[in-house]
């Protein structure tokens, strides 16, 4: 609707410079500049390289988003920006840019939580989120299960990884298998030609004794080590490594645990909506298994399209739009870039 506020969102927490523009739940622009190729040879994101790339990309990306939406900065009603969590230097570029544009164009600014934005982005695809909902957030830096009562004001963490994030496990296993960084997409592709039942890898924190203390927590470090030992044993024996089978069996172990715990959280809390977000939500097996298991219990799974799952500016704009609609006050102009922003804080 034309009278809904026009919100611009800026994302610079990791290696993607994103600027998105939304009106209500309608996506008008989603401009992205990625420095991922500059990090590929290091096998992970190099913070200094990412910050410099954001500095170079922020103004052109901003201009592209405005042109794509066919608006000017004067038309924007509010600016939202990722305040945290993320890489400190990278966050600073986005926060400084948001403040600059906000002061120059006299607009309110909202400093928002990157993880809440990964949940909010689904509203651009599936409309308002029924609350309460359970959110499974799986990215390169985080893996959490959240109870979402009121996304505008706070979320309740139910559990999180106690070691590696799910995306980190994909990246490390890809490296072991000689696949490129980031590892999620190539493992997803390889796994399509592999047999997930050919190797049984461990499911972390699912034994009855672990469930007592860690019902909704995850652990992927033992799985990663199990894959490494398995691959090393093959190499020592002089046998070829069946990359597609290892990828499929590893992916199955991750998706099995993520979906089992997410659906357990839904059922234990009597909740009928599961929303999945973050880069790993782009995984084809995770999407299929979540839907298959949820259907048995009458639970609806909402997963945004893959491009909206990985980091982008639209997700920040979507959360900003949700905050404005809920009447949340804007942030102060001295809002911080907070690399360790807690999950419970939606906006500062």
User: Rounded CA gap, 77 and 3, in Å?
Assistant: 11
Which range touches Zn ion (CB under 5 A), out of 130-138, 166-174, 212-220, 308-316? Answer: 308-316
What is the nearest approach in angstroms of ligand KG4 to the Cβ of residue 135? Answer: 13
Q: Which listed residue (83, 139, 143, 347) binds Zn ion by CB under 5 A?
A: 139
Under the phi-then-psi rule, with left for phi > 0, alpha for psi from -120 to 50, and beta for the rest, what region is 86? left
Q: Which is nearer to ligand KG4, 51 or 283 (CB)?
A: 283
SS3 content of the chain, % helix, strand, coil (to 5): 45, 20, 35
What is the nearest approach in angstroms of ligand KG4 to the Cβ of residue 15? Answer: 8
Answer yes or no: are the C-beta atoms of 226 and 203 closer than 8 Å. no
Q: Which is nearer to ligand KG4, 183 or 204 (CB)?
A: 183
Size of the site for ligand KG4 (CB under 6 A): 19
Q: Per the annotation, does 312 bind a ligand?
A: no
**Cβ-based neighbour number of residue 133 at 10 Å:** 23
Q: Is 110 in the site for ligand KG4 (CB under 6 A)?
A: no
Rounded to 5 degrees, φ, ψ at 157 are -70, 130
**Going residue by residue from 11 to 50, which x/- string records binding to ligand KG4, judged by CB under 6 A?**
---x------------------------------------
Which range touches ligand KG4 (CB under 6 A), out of 125-133, 223-231, 280-288, 332-340? Answer: 280-288
Residue sitting closest to Zn ion (CB): 139
User: Rounded CA gap, 12 and 84, in Å?
Assistant: 9
User: Rounded CA gap, 210 and 67, in Å?
Assistant: 52
Q: Is 279 in the site for ligand KG4 (CB under 6 A)?
A: yes
Helices (H), the chain: 36-40, 47-69, 88-105, 114-120, 123-126, 166-176, 184-191, 208-214, 221-236, 243-268, 284-296, 306-309, 313-325
User: Rounded CA gap, 61 and 52, in Å?
Assistant: 14
Which of positions 136-195 make contact with ligand KG4 (CB under 6 A)?
A: 139-141, 167, 170-171, 182-185, 188
* Residues making up the binding site: 114, 118, 137-141, 171, 184, 188, 283, 311
Annotated binding site for substrate: 137-141, 171, 184, 188, 283
Question: Residues annotated in the binding site for Fe cation, as ranges?
Answer: 114, 118, 311
**Residue ranges binding ligand KG4 (CB under 6 A):** 14, 139-141, 167, 170-171, 182-185, 188, 278-280, 282-283, 310-311
């Amino acid at each position: 609707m034309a009278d809904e506020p026009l919100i611009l969102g800026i994302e610079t927490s990791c290696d993607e410079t994103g600027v998105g523009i939304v009106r209500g739940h309608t996506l008008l622009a989603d401009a992205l500049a990625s420095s991922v190729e500059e990090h590929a040879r290091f096998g992970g994101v190099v913070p200094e390289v990412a910050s410099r790339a954001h500095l170079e990309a922020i103004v052109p990306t901003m201009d592209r988003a405005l042109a794509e939406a066919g608006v000017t900065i004067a038309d924007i009603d509010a600016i939202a920006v990722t305040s945290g969590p993320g890489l400190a230097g990278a966050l600073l570029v986005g926060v400084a840019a948001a403040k600059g544009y906000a002061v120059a164009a006299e607009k309110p600014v909202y400093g928002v939580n990157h993880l809440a934005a990964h949940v909010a982005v689904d509203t651009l695809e599936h409309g308002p989120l029924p609350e309460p909902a359970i959110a499974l957030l799986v990215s390169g830096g985080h893996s959490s299960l959240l109870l979402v009562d009121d996304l505008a004001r706070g979320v309740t963490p139910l559990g999180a990884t106690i070691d590696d994030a799910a995306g980190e496990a994909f990246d490390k296993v890809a490296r072991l298998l000689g696949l490129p960084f980031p590892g999620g997409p190539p493992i997803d592709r390889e796994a399509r030609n592999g047999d997930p039942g050919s190797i049984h890898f461990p499911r972390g924190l699912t034994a009855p004794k672990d469930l007592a203390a860690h019902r909704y927590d995850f652990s992927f470090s033992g799985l990663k080590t199990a894959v490494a030992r398995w691959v090393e044993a093959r190499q020592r024996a002089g046998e070829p490594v069946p990359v597609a089978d290892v990828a499929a069996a590893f992916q199955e172990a991750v998706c099995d645990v993520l979906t089992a715990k997410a659906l357990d959280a839904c059922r234990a809390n009597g909740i009928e909506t599961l929303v999945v977000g973050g880069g790993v939500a782009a995984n084809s097996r995770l999407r299929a298994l979540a839907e298959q298991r949820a259907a048995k219990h009458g639970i609806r799974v909402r997963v945004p399209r893959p491009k909206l799952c990985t980091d982008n500016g639209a997700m920040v704009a979507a959360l900003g739009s949700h905050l404005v609609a809920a009447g949340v006050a804007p942030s102060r102009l001295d809002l911080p870039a907070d690399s360790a922003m807690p999950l419970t804080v939606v906006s500062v």
